[in-house]
Structure 1
Amino acid sequence: MPQVCIYPKEAAQLTGTSYDAGKRLLQRIRRHLAKPARSYVSIAEFCRYTGLPEAEVCAALRP
């Protein structure tokens, strides 16, 4: 089953930033989408917000 949500560590790796910056990025995405504080952010939502191509993000997240 393919991965659906993105975690702070992965957000940090994809953007080349620290773990804390990845957490802040996911928090900004949740605020932008009016999601609850601890809700998951999907890869599609992450890609729409950051402008990164979804196919490249999914390929980078595969082990």
Structure 2
Amino acid sequence: MKRIIITSNDVMFLMGKSESYAQRLIKSIRDAYGKKKHQPISIRLFCDYMDLSYEEVFNTVNGIKDQSA
């Protein structure tokens, strides 16, 4: 099954930043989209907020290798 939710560990890996940075970023995304603390952040919301390619982030989080290479 493929994941559609992003975690602070995923953000740490993707951005190469600290855990506290990742947690603050997820909190900022929650605030921007009006999500409550218990509501998860989807990869799509993360990508929209950070202006990143959904497919690239989704594939990286789910460990899918690039098919075009």
TM-score by structure 2 length? 0.84
For the 8 Å contact 2:4–2:58, the answer to whether it is kept is: no
- Runs of 4+ residues deviating >3 angstroms: none
Cα deviation, residue 20, structure 1: 1.1
Higher RCO (CA 8 Å, separation ≥ 6 residues): 2
Q: Where does residue 5 of structure 1 map in the other structure?
A: 5
1:20 aligns with 2:38: no
1:31 aligns with 2:14: no
Higher helix proportion: 1
Q: What 5-or-longer segments of structure 2 have no aligned partner? A: 64-69
Cα deviation, residue 62, structure 1: 2.2
State the distance in 2 between where 1:13 and 1:34 align. Answer: 25
TM-score by structure 1 length? 0.92
Q: What 5-or-longer segments of structure 1 have no aligned partner? A: none
Q: Percent identity?
A: 29
